[in-house]
Each structure stands twice: as structure tokens, then as C-alpha cells.
Amino acid sequence: MVSILLLSEGSAEGVSNVSITLPQSFLDKMQGLLDHEYEAFMASYEQPRKYGLRVNGLKLSEGEFLKLSPWGDRLVPIPWASGGYYYVDSDRPGKHPHYHAGLYYIQEPSAMVPAELLDVRPGDRVLDLCAAPGGKSTQLAAKLQGKGVLVTNDNARERTKALAKNIELAGIRNAVVLNEEPAALAKVFEGWFDRVLVDAPCSGEGMFRKDESMIGEWERHSVSRCSAMQRDIMKHAYRMLAPGGTLVYSTCTFSPEENEAQIAELLAAYQDLEVVPVALAHGWAPGRPDWIGSDLVATLPAGSELINSLSGTVRLWPHLTGGEGHYAAVLRKRMLGGVVEKDADNDVGKGSLERVGRGSKGERTEQAGRGEQRNGVRADAERGSKGERTEQAGRVERRSDMRVDAERGSKGERTEQTGRVERRNGVRVDAERGSKGERTEQAGRVERRGDMRADAERGSVMRAEAGRGRKARGDGLKRASGGGAAGVVDAVEAWRRFAAERLVGAERWSGEPVAYGSRVYLQPPGLPRLDGLRVVRAGWFVGEAGTHRFEPSQALAMGLRCGEAALTLRLRADEEATLRYLKGETLHVDASRLVLQDASESRTAPHDGDMRALAPDGTKEIAAKGYVLVCADDCPIGWGKYGGDGLLKNELPAGWRWM
Ligand SMILES: C[S@@+](CC[C@H](N)C(=O)[O-])C[C@H]1O[C@@H](n2cnc3c(N)ncnc32)[C@H](O)[C@@H]1O
């Protein structure tokens, strides 16, 4: 054991130092790997760690954030992450109303790299397979800009609570949160995703400086145990990746067994995978093929490029770059017109062969369109200036930011022929319920209705019982209550009435209303059936139908823009009422402070009110009683219920309050 004094950053209270104790076996290993660099590596433990936040592009632009932020001139851009900034620890951005409004996510700077490398475009189908607590999912969602689908999953049930909350805090509308094993997901999502992120569970060696508890974890979870988990996760991740798609594998550990060796094994098993080299910048270092054990090398195809290609993966060292230790590999699944299987016993490879043979809907044929790297972020060589991507030789064409499903009607058509693909345009929130109230939902009887405009034409589809062909698990996961057909219809109808009365423009949103019991979600269109999967959020959770009225969720509030609610209370982040609201207090509010967004003649006035709210120009008024969206600096922070007595009852769920 070696104890090292860690320097903390200067703060108003002065500099405070702490020490950490590193296991001797770890030090010996690092010395063996790093040789002459070892001293510099060890010196990094005596340096203060870096702190990062990432501006949430779903809610505001970087420029808007910098204008609003009280720490604007102390924020330093993180060169590899859009919206990423180093901050000074003593500024404590986690304790600011803007944090509660989801304007940024606090994230270790190196941890921002994998999602940047994944090169997500609006309209993509994206999987974040090991996602909790959701840092990278929120980053990926910002890149989707509300278009396409994010499936975010973690197999640890407890951890999906934080994941769901972070998805909701960030105001993400097009995500589905699952709590599954990768094998179960692969049955539903075979070949479905354009982009897959595997931010793998690992021995965490790169995080010792940031979080000393990781040292204990390292001692408990051996490198070999982590490697075995990673291997299993990756074979299912591969299955879910569409031909032509990109997979990023990342860890926060230094051990080659969990990094280069994992990738080598994967490349050896699947001939249609290749490394897309990451351009080195910002002090990033190449992957180290020479660190793979000779036992493994002996099993790899002799003389192949496979081992050399591993130098195209990337290592982030704390002594060379401005963040903690990380590793990332960008892999692309080629389209060869048929997948060559190297391991006859490998079930994943077999599945792929069958798929190609069938020429099923999701199939595309494509030759390796080699990616090009710019500033460490992959860019397809063929890409046009406005985000267009055309992939030759197999021909995948994407236009604009929209992707479309084959099943969809005329607007969203996708035509896929062999060798050619054309795309055009394609609680109460559980977290609020606190720990006891968390609910993971297996799909009970679910009725789906088409999007709000098109319900009548599309009719409805009854979904089969989830868990069909699968035993109920004795894991305490509850099915949504209710679920009888009549109740389900009511829930969707109740949502539609609420949306018509209290929201502006909801009829144009793309999500499909789906009821799980009394809870209503807007689900990204085109998603396969989730039957049998443990579903934490089936989409954007918009609220729950009660006996008398529809209760909008905190997730709905966080996903709205202020202008999308009929009635708002616009506070400044720095006024006392904002803090009082965030602490769960009832507010006294003069009706004149309520803002009416849209008092068009056709709008139905809220049925239960007699107070009056003024339009911004002071010319119109409507009854103002009931749900009011509370905003701070023009960003929603939750709901209040306005009564006839000038009191705004606080609807902020307990788990969302400022502690
Ligand atoms: C490094 S953490 C992910 C951090 C996350 N990507 C983020 O940015 O916030 C790894 C996660 O993998 C999850 N995990 C472990 N084994 C898994 C498995 N077999 N399938 C899915 N998730 C798994 C763990 O519960 C843990 O939350």
C-alpha cells in the first residue's frame, strides 16, 4: 500500500488536502506497463482532479447558458466535448436552481469522450446499454435533438432510478428506460440500432483520484471478473448493432485485459467488425496492442491486421490530458453482403448469418465506408455539410435529421432493398415517489393509440401481455396497476383532454401515447414491442389518470419549454420564490404574475377555474385555476396548482426537492 497526498483545488475556504492509499499490486502493475512514464503517472495523483459540467443542448445553447450562468468567466471549455466546461469546485453548480432546471449535467471531463466518439445524428436509433446513472445518455439525447430513439438500459434495478430521474431532469422526450440483461434486449432489438454505446462495468482504475471508494471496488471486483462481464455484454451489443452501425466501447480503467484485449477478442470473433481509428488530440494516447497477453495473441489469426488496428483505439491518461483515466474504442460493423462467421459455435454470428440470408427489413448491404476522424471525433468521409451522410457501395442514404421506419406511412417511408437503403425524414414520476414508490413496469395490457392527430384513422392496437412466454419474476417488479382495456382508453383520453386544455402545440408532438395502466407515456414512434422486458419508462412519462383528473408528471414539466404550457409562473432563478418553490413550499402568487401563453378563441378555458390570467400583452385573459408550469429563467422546474385563494400549491415531488 502507498499513501499519496492529493491536492484539492483552491476554494474560498483555502486549499484542503486529502490522501489516498493505492494498493501495492496496482502500483506494481502500472509500473510494469508504464515503465519510464510511471513517475509522471504517479505525479498526477498529487494534482487536483478536474471538474466538469456539460450544458444541456436540449434546453438552451452554450451562449445562452454562459449569459445566464453566474460563473461564466470561470468556466473553461473542455476541448473534446460540445457544451463541456471545466468548473471550479467551490462554485458548486449542483447547488443552483439551473441544475434543478436541468440546464447542465455534472460529468467528469474524460467521461464526455465516448458519447462524442459515437457520432450520433438526429434521427438515429441509439442504445446506451450500461447507462446508469445516465451521464452519457443525457449527452447522446442532446445529440439526437429530440429526433430518433434513445434506448437507455442498465441491469441494476436500483441504479435505473437515478437513470430515469436524470433522463427526466434533462427533459428528454424520445427515450425509453429499460432494466434488462443484454441477452434479453438482443432478442427484441436484433440488428436494430445505428449506434450502440457500451460504457462497460469495469475495475475503475482510472477513477481512483476522483473517487477513493473505487479502490475498494477494485479489490473486490477483480479485473478477470470484469473482463468476463464485458465479454458477455459485448457479444449482445454486437447483435443489436445494425450493419453499417457504430459501436463505442469504453471503460474507466487502465487494465489491458478490459481494454485492448476485449476488443481483440471481439474482432477475432466477428469479421465484419473493424476499428475506426480515433484521431489523437488533446493529449490522448493510442491504444496499446503490445500490452495484450501472449496467451491471447496466440489465439488470434496469425499475421492479421487485427492486432495493429488496436492502436487506433484511445487511452486517456491523467498525466497527459485534462481528466481522469479512460479507454475507448470505436468499432464499425461492415456490410459485406453476408456476414462471415468465424466461430461456428458462436450464437451471435449465427443470428447474423440468418438475418442476412432472410433479407429482413432491417438489413442493409454496404461495403466498409471508412470513417474519417477529425479532432478525435469520427466523421464519415462522405458526409455533406449539413449533416447529410451518404454511404456508398451498399448505399445508405440519409437525408435531413429524420429517420423513418419502414412500417410508417407516406411521410416516413424507408425503402430498403438489398444493397440500397434510402431514408427520408425520417411520481407521478417514479423518482418522485421516493425510494418506496419506484416502479418498474412490465408491460401490462397496453393500448397504443396513434399520434394524437391521427388516432381516428389508425385505430388502436391492443398489445399482448408482456412477459408472455416468460415467467413472472420474483424480483419485486410491479406491473402497472389497472390495465383493463377500459381504464387504459380512459388514461389516454384523459391525457388528450389535459393536453388540449393545458398545453400548447401538443397535437404536433411525434410520440405515440401509450398507457401502462393509468400512466401515460409518449413513446418514440417505430419502437419494437417491449413485451417481456422490464420497462422503467416506456417513453416520455407525461402523467397519470386519476379518478377525476389527469395529473401531469414532473417529467412532463421538465420536458416542456415554458411556451408549451398554457399558464406559467415566470420566476427569476435568483429570486427568493424560486428557492422556496424548489424546497417544496406553497407560494403566494398574485394572479397578475401568471402568464397566459395562448388565449386563442379556440382554446378551451380550464374547466375548473374562476381566476383570471393575463396574456403577455395584457389584452386577453382566461380562467386561471389548476395546473401552472413554474419556470425559472424561462426554464421549467415543476408544476404548481393555483387555487382560488391566490395560493400556488407546490406539486414538486419529494424526490425532486432542494435538500
Ligand atoms: C461505468 S457504469 C455506466 C456509467 C454511465 N454510462 C454514465 O455515463 O453515467 C457501468 C454500468 O453498467 C451496469 N452494468 C453492469 N453489468 C451490466 C450488464 N450485464 N448489462 C447492463 N448493464 C450492466 C452497471 O450497473 C453500471 O451502472
Say which range, 11-25, 248-262, 452-466, 471-485, has the weakest mean pLDDT: 452-466
The predicted complex's ipTM stands at: 1.00
198 forms bridges with which residues in the sheet?
A: 249
pLDDT band at 8 (very low <50, low <70, confident <90, very high): very low
Between the CA of 449 and the centroid of ligand 1 the distance, in Å, is 33
* Residue located nearest, by CA, to atom 25 of ligand 1: 156
* Residue located nearest, by CA, to atom 18 of ligand 1: 155
Between the CA of 114 and the centroid of ligand 1 the distance, in Å, is 14
The set of cell numbers assigned to 441 is 413496469
Between the CA of 417 and the centroid of ligand 1 the distance, in Å, is 36
Question: Pairing mode, if any, of strands 314-316 and 326-333?
Answer: antiparallel
Atom of ligand 1 nearest to the CA of 201: 10
* Residue located nearest, by CA, to atom 5 of ligand 1: 131
Between the CA of 34 and the centroid of ligand 1 the distance, in Å, is 28
The active-site residue out of 226, 252, 631, 635 is 252
3-state secondary structure string, 543-554? EEECCCCEEECH
pLDDT of residue 462: 23
The set of cell numbers assigned to 134 is 445516465
pLDDT higher than threshold 60 for residue 345: no
Which of 140, 150, 154, when mutated, tests ligand 1's pocket best, judged by the most ligand atoms within 8 Å of its CB?
A: 154
Say which range, 136-145, 192-201, 502-511, has the weakest mean pLDDT: 502-511
Between the CA of 250 and the centroid of ligand 1 the distance, in Å, is 11
Between the CA of 155 and the centroid of ligand 1 the distance, in Å, is 7
Binding site residue list: 130-136, 154, 199
b/e map 463-499, b = 16+ CB within 10 Å: bebbbeeeeeeeeebebbebbeeebbebbbbbbbebb
* Residue located nearest, by CA, to atom 13 of ligand 1: 130
Q: Is 610 left (phi over 0), alpha (psi -120 to 50) or beta?
A: alpha
CB atoms within 10 A of CB 46: 13
Average pLDDT over residues 606-619: 47
pLDDT of residue 499: 96
Atom of ligand 1 nearest to the CA of 154: 22
How far is residue 108's CA from residue 159's CA, in Å, rounded to a whole number? Answer: 18
pLDDT of residue 336: 63
pLDDT of residue 627: 95
Which of 110, 130, 239, when mutated, tests ligand 1's pocket best, judged by the most ligand atoms within 8 Å of its CB?
A: 130
pLDDT higher than threshold 90 for residue 80: yes
Atom of ligand 1 nearest to the CA of 111: 8
Per residue in 223-243, pLDDT tens?
Answer: 889 999 999 999 999 999 999
The set of cell numbers assigned to 418 is 438489398
pLDDT band at 72 (very low <50, low <70, confident <90, very high): confident
Between the CA of 195 and the centroid of ligand 1 the distance, in Å, is 17
Atom of ligand 1 nearest to the CA of 132: 27
* Residue located nearest, by CA, to atom 2 of ligand 1: 201
The set of cell numbers assigned to 636 is 421549467
pLDDT band at 367 (very low <50, low <70, confident <90, very high): very low
What is the distance, to the nearest Å, from the Cα of residue 400 to the centroid of all Cα atoms in its chain? 22
pLDDT higher than threshold 90 for residue 260: yes
3-state secondary structure string, 49-84? CCEEEEECCCCCCHHHHHHHCCCHHHCEECCCCCCE
pLDDT band at 647 (very low <50, low <70, confident <90, very high): very high
pLDDT of residue 412: 29
* Residue located nearest, by CA, to atom 6 of ligand 1: 131
Average pLDDT over residues 73-90: 96
Per residue in 520-530, pLDDT tens?
Answer: 999 999 999 99
The set of cell numbers assigned to 284 is 490522448
pLDDT of residue 470: 28
What is 577-634 written as a DSSP string?
A: HHHHHHTT--EE--GGGEEES---TTSPPPTT---EEE-TTSS-EEE--EEEEEEETT
**Residue ranges lining ligand 1, Cβ < 6 Å:** 111, 129-136, 154-156, 159, 181-182, 199, 201, 229, 233
Q: Give the SS3 label for residue 379.
A: strand
The set of cell numbers assigned to 542 is 407525461
pLDDT higher than threshold 50 for residue 250: yes
Q: What angle do CA 534, 540, 542 make, to 5 degrees?
A: 115
pLDDT band at 267 (very low <50, low <70, confident <90, very high): very high
What is 290-313 written as a DSSP string?
A: GGS-HHHHHHSPTT-SHHHHGGGS
Atom of ligand 1 nearest to the CA of 133: 9
How far is residue 618's CA from residue 607's CA, in Å, rounded to a whole number? Answer: 22
Average pLDDT over all residues of the chain = 76
252 catalytic per annotation: yes
* Residue located nearest, by CA, to atom 10 of ligand 1: 201
Per residue in 294-337, pLDDT tens?
Answer: 888 888 886 678 999 999 999 999 999 999 999 999 999 998 65
Burial class (CB in 10 A: 0-12, 13-18, 19+), 535: buried
pLDDT higher than threshold 50 for residue 471: no
Atom of ligand 1 nearest to the CA of 252: 1
Between the CA of 109 and the centroid of ligand 1 the distance, in Å, is 18
Find out whether 1 and 23 touch, Cβ atoms under 8 Å.
Answer: yes
Binding site residue list for S-adenosyl-L-methionine: 130-136, 154, 199
Catalogue the E-assigned strands of 349-500: 371-374, 377-380, 389-391, 396-398, 414-417, 420-423, 441-442, 446-449, 460-463
Which of 155, 232, 533, when mutated, tests ligand 1's pocket best, judged by the most ligand atoms within 8 Å of its CB?
A: 155
How far is residue 24's CA from residue 623's CA, in Å, rounded to a whole number? Answer: 70
Atom of ligand 1 nearest to the CA of 139: 8
